[in-house]
Amino acid sequence: MSHTVEILSVGTELLLGNIVNSDAQALSRELSGLGLNVLYHSVVGDNPGRLRAAVELARTRADVIVTTGGLGPTCDDLTKQVLAECFGRRLVFHPECAEAIRAYFARMGKEMTDNNLQQACLPEGCDILDNAWGTAPGCAFEAGGTYVVMLPGPPSECLPMFLERAAPWLARLSEGVIRSRTLRVFGLGESAVEALLRDRMNRLSNPTLAPYAKEGEVELRVTAKADTPEAADALIAPVEAEVRALLGDLVYGADVSGLEQVVLEGARARGLTLGTAESCTGGLIAKRLTDVPGAASAFKGGVVSYHCEVKAGTLGVSQALLDEQGPVCAGVAEQMARGARRVLGCGLAVSATGVAGPDPDDRGNPVGLVYTALAAPDGCWVKKLNLASPGARRDRIRTLAANHALDMARRWLAGLDPAGRDVQRGWTD
C-alpha cells in the first residue's frame, strides 16, 4: 500500500505572497518519484497555534509529514518546537550539530552570532539530516506510525537536503529501490510528445513514464521500482531505448541540467571553444552557458550587439546589409555568428537576432520573428523562427530563441544537421 504525504510549509512570507512555494513543487515531484502519494500541500504562517492545528490535522490525513521552513535562528522559527510538542518529544541540544554550524561559518569567513546555536536543538531521538548547503540542520523521526521529516525553507537548501538526506531516510517506506532517469527533449511541444507516447504511457506501470513541460522544452521522466538499483536500471533501459527510437535526435540528453550543459560538454570533448553574438537575447545565451560551474573550460566569451553600430563595429557585420535589410534577417544572423567566431577566436559561435517585443520593429517585422545562426569550422547555418504564440511574451520569446541557438550547437557537436528539420537550411559553405 502506498504511503500518503502532506507537505506543510511554514512561513508568513508565503502567505504575504513575498515568495512562491517552489519547495512544495520540488518536493512533490521528488516524493512522487519515490512512489509516495502527495495528497495535500498546506501553508501556515509563523504562528504556533495555527501550526499546531495544522500538524494535528496532517497526522489524521497523511502518514508522512514533510515540513519546510522555520528551522532558522530567529524567534519566528518555531517548526521544531511545535512539531516536537505535537509528537511528545523534548528538544535536545546536539553538540555535533553546533560544531557543524560553527564550521560552516568558519568556512564562509563570517562571524557567528550565538542565536545560530539554537539550530542545534532538535527533537530527542531523531535522525539528524546534516545541512551541507546552509546552517540549519533538518531532522526526521517516526512517531506512532507517522513519519516526520523537517527541511529548511530556502530552496537552495531544501531540495539538496531532500535528495541527499531525506530521500535515503524515506527509502524505508518503499520496498526495494526507486530509480529514475530524465530524458530531455527539444523541438517538440508537450502535447505532441504526449500524443506520440500516450498509449505507451498508459500501458506502463513499472517503470512509469511521465512528461513535464519546461520552458520551451519537455522532460520525460522514467521511474522504476525494483529490489536492487541494477534491476531498476534494467527496467528503465528498454523504455529509454523505445523513447529514443520514437523521438530520435530530439532527445538531447539524459539527467542533464539543460542544453547549455550538453553544449559545453560536447565542445569540451571535441576540444573546441564557444562564443556568442546576441541581439534580441541580449546576453541570455552567454548567461545560461555561464550558469554552469566550470563553463570557462569551453566558453570564451560573447558580444551583445544590441545596436547596429556594435553589430558593424565590433562584429564586422556589413553596414550595407544592415542598411538594406535591417538587423533582423538571415544574413545578419550569419555575419554575427561568423564575426563572433573571428573576433573571439573560438571554434563555434551561435547568434540570435530578432524581435522580442512587445512591439514589432521599425521595419514592421512581427514580434517573434527570430533568426539564429551557428558558425562552425565547416560552415554556417541559419534558422528562421516564428516564436509568437498566444501568451508568448518577451521573456518567453527570448528563452526560446536562446534554446534554438544552443540546440544548433548541440546538433552540430552530435554530428547532426545543425538546423534540424522543418526549418530553413542555408548559407553552408
Query: Which residues within the stretch 10-29 sit at the binding site for a second copy (CB under 8 A)?
Result: 13-22, 24-29
- Give the nearest distance from C-beta 286 to a second copy in angstroms: 3
Of the candidate spans 90-98, 120-128, 232-240, 388-396, the one that interacts with a second copy by CB under 8 A turns out to be 388-396
Q: Which of 95, 144, 271, 391 binds a second copy (CB under 8 A)?
A: 391
What is the b/e burial string over 303-331, where b = at least 16 CB atoms within 10 angstroms of the residue's CB? bbbeebeebbebbebeeebbeeebbbbbb
- Give the nearest distance from C-beta 352 to a second copy in angstroms: 12
Query: Which residues within the stretch 396-415 sit at the binding site for a second copy (CB under 8 A)?
Result: 396, 398
Using rule CB under 8 A, residue 350 touches a second copy: no
| CA nearest neighbour of 308 among 336, 288, 284 | 336
- The answer for residues whose C-beta is within 8 angstroms of residue 240's C-beta and 6 or more apart is 181, 183, 222, 254
| Sequence-ordered strand ranges (E) for 26-135 | 37-44, 64-68, 91-93, 121-123, 127-129
- The span from the CA of 59 to the CA of 65, in Å, is 7
Q: Which of 91, 304, 321, 416 binds a second copy (CB under 8 A)?
A: 304
CB-wise, 78 or 141, nearer to a second copy?
A: 78
At 405, give phi and psi (nearest 5°). -65, -45
Using rule CB under 8 A, residue 307 touches a second copy: yes
Of the candidate spans 170-178, 250-258, 328-336, 392-400, the one that interacts with a second copy by CB under 8 A turns out to be 392-400
The per-residue DSSP string of 33-58 comes to: HTT-EEEEEEEE-S-HHHHHHHHHHH
Number of residues that bind a second copy (CB under 8 A): 93
Measuring CA to CA, how many Å separate 188 from each of 243, 270, 390, 412?
Answer: 13, 27, 17, 19
- Give the nearest distance from C-beta 374 to a second copy in angstroms: 18
- Give the nearest distance from C-beta 388 to a second copy in angstroms: 6
Q: Which of 96, 175, 324, 395 binds a second copy (CB under 8 A)?
A: 395
- Give the nearest distance from C-beta 231 to a second copy in angstroms: 25
Q: What angle do CA 117, 58, 170 make, to 5 degrees?
A: 65
| CA nearest neighbour of 258 among 393, 146, 407 | 407
CB-wise, 89 or 370, nearer to a second copy?
A: 370
Query: Which residues within the stretch 148-167 sit at the binding site for a second copy (CB under 8 A)?
Result: 154, 156-157
- The span from the CA of 71 to the CA of 48, in Å, is 13
- Give the nearest distance from C-beta 23 to a second copy in angstroms: 10
Query: Which residues within the stretch 187-216 sit at the binding site for a second copy (CB under 8 A)?
Result: 210, 212-213
Dihedral sign (CA 261, 267, 270, 273): negative
CA 34 to chain centre: 19
- Give the nearest distance from C-beta 89 to a second copy in angstroms: 26
Using rule CB under 8 A, residue 302 touches a second copy: yes
Query: Which residues within the stretch 64-123 sit at the binding site for a second copy (CB under 8 A)?
Result: 104-105, 108-110
Q: Which of 10, 30, 259, 336 binds a second copy (CB under 8 A)?
A: 30
The pattern of x and - marking residues 237 through 276 that bind a second copy according to CB under 8 A reads: ------------------------------------x--x
How many CA atoms within 13 Å lie on the side-chain side of 218? 21
* All cell numbers assigned to 142: 517516526
Using rule CB under 8 A, residue 388 touches a second copy: yes
- The span from the CA of 340 to the CA of 355, in Å, is 20
CB-wise, 27 or 141, nearer to a second copy?
A: 27
